[in-house]
Structure formats: C-alpha cells, structure tokens
Structure 1
Amino acid sequence: MAHAPQKINTFLMFEGRAEEAMTFYRSLFPDAEVLDISRYGAEGPGKEGTVVHATFSLAGQQFMCSDSPVHHDFGFTPAVSLFVQCDTEPELDRLYAALAEGGAELMQLGSYGFSTKFGWVNDRFGVSWQLNLPW
C-alpha cells in the first residue's frame, strides 16, 4: 500500500533504540503502522540490525526515525513535544500511564484552566508528550 509522503515530518534520532521506540509508540495507537524501514548491515557504519531510516505512522501522522551510529552530547528536550488531542478521558489516562512508565512526569494529570484534563511526560526514550482532553 503506497503512502504519499508528508511535506514536513517529525524526525526522531535515537542511539540504538529506534525500533524499540517505534514498537512502543505503535502499541499505543490502534491505527499505527511501520511504512518503511531500512537497517544497517554488517558493513555498518551503525550496529548491524539497527535502523538507518524508518517511517511510521501514529493516528494518521507520519514520523521518521533513525539510530545514529555516532554518540551525541544531546538528546530530546521538552522544548519540542508531541501534542496529542485525546478523544476521551480513558484514552488520555491510558496514554499518560504508558508514556510515564520509565519516564518522567513533567505536569501531572489535572485541570490547568485551558482544557478538561492535561498531562505532560517525557517517555522512557526522552521524547516529550503533551496529552490534552479539550473542553
């Protein structure tokens, strides 16, 4: 099934955990899928089997990711986050619990005056997620 590429994509760079992150994120959204993936071979430069480049979708939104074969002195920052508009409170609660496990809560679930319920977490990979239940 061919998918038209988006003009602008969120690109997530990992150091050996790209596939683990993709698998985790896809487990959270029922309509998620890997659209394309290529892996490093024995010739490198990355560890054999890690992700050279992948495209995956979550809730109709396409993302790209890779495993950098080079160690970097930077990681993800909450200054850039994935903002999810949830349809129901149970959906928000489920996503928050799953994403916070092994990660860090930045803003606990609550009502902050701009929506029904909101929470902000860094997941176990360091990616920041804002989860919102609109009025």
Structure 2
Amino acid sequence: MQRVTPFLWFNNQAEEAVNYYLSIFEDSRILTKTRYGEVGPGPEGSIMSIDFELQGQAFVALNGGPHFTFSEAVSFVVNCETAEEVDHYWEKLSAGGEKSHCGWLKDQFGVSWQVVPTLLPRLIGDANQEKAQMVMAAMLQMQKLDIVALQTAYDDA
C-alpha cells in the first residue's frame, strides 16, 4: 500500500473526473468505488469515493459537495521524455480547462497540472549558471514547454 495518497475533493464530478483521467493516462484503472448509504450525507446509492491509479500512482476521488475547491497551491507534475508526450498531456489535460504559463494548466475540473520535460531540471540545475539562466529565461516566456527551444537556449548560452 502506498503510504501517501493524493485525495481529490470534487463537488459531485468524481466519477466523471476519474474516467477523464483514465482516458488520458495509459496503464490506469479504477480500484474500488464506494457509494453513499441511507445516512448520507450524499444521495443514497450515489458515488461517495473512487480509489484509482494513474500509471501506478494511487489516488482517491471524493464527491464531498461544494465546500472546497482546488487551487494552484497543489498540483500534479507529469514528467515527459519527449515532445510528443508533452503535446499529448498538455492538449488532453487542458481541454475544457485553462492553459497557463511555464507548463502549468488547470483541467476542466479545476485540478492544476504541470506538464514538464524530464530534461528541464537538469538544464536549469546546470553548474554553468549562464546556461541555466538562459533556459530559465526561455521557459518563462512559454505556455506549453518546448523541449527543442529549451535545449536550444541551453546550447546557445
């Protein structure tokens, strides 16, 4: 069992959100569904929570009502090896949501994601601060992160 599991509080769209995430991430699945009983607080028989996995990472989605909403203070990072992966996750996760900057977006449910090429931490963490700062400057101008442009900024420094 995973020791720490992200727990996502939805108003009443937990099942819709889980199915949406499963359609985007391969090797993902629903583990269990729990329904509200006659004592509630949700409507009897409706989904209370869903335990699910996205590529081996466990999550719980709860239909908890309108009391809480998501903010950018918590986000999920999707590490991408290729430009094709960046494109895939950027387009799928932002559909119906909101694209931001530096690889950040909100999906249609308000959950924040960062779609990040795996080479980015290596480039901005380079011992050569001139190269690292050129990559940072390039990244700060981007919405979706562009692997070729980031590498070019590094190489040109």
Task: Please indicate the TM-score interval, normalised by the length of the shorter structure.
Answer: 0.7 to 0.9
* CA distance 1:49–1:120, shift in 2 (3 Å): farther
1:126 aligns with 2:110: yes
Q: Normalising by the residue count of structure 2, what TM-score does the alignment of the two structures yield? A: 0.70
The answer to whether structure 1 residue 71 and structure 2 residue 55 are counterparts is: no
Superposed counterparts of 1:3-82, under 5 Å: 5-41=1-37, 44-68=40-64, 70-72=65-67, 74-82=68-76
Assess if the C-alpha contact under 8 Å between 1:105 and 1:122 holds in 2.
Answer: yes
Between Structure 1 and Structure 2, the one with more helix by share is 2
One of 86, 89, 96 as aligned partner of 2:83: 89
Count of aligned residue pairs for this structure pair: 119
2:10–2:66 contact (8 Å) kept in structure 1? no
Structure 1 CA distance, aligned partners of 2:107 and 2:92? 8
Match of 2:17, SS state, is helix
> What's the Cα RMSD here?
1.6
| Distance in structure 2 (CA, Å) of the matches to 1:49 and 1:24 | 22
1:98 CA displacement:
1.2
> Which of the two has higher C-alpha Rg?
2
TM-score by length of 1: 0.81
Q: Which runs of 5 or more residues in structure 2 are unaligned? A: 120-157
Partner Cα separation in structure 2 for residue 124 and residue 47 of structure 1 = 24
- Which is richer in strand? 1
Question: What secondary structure is seen at the aligned counterpart in 2 of 1:12?
Answer: strand
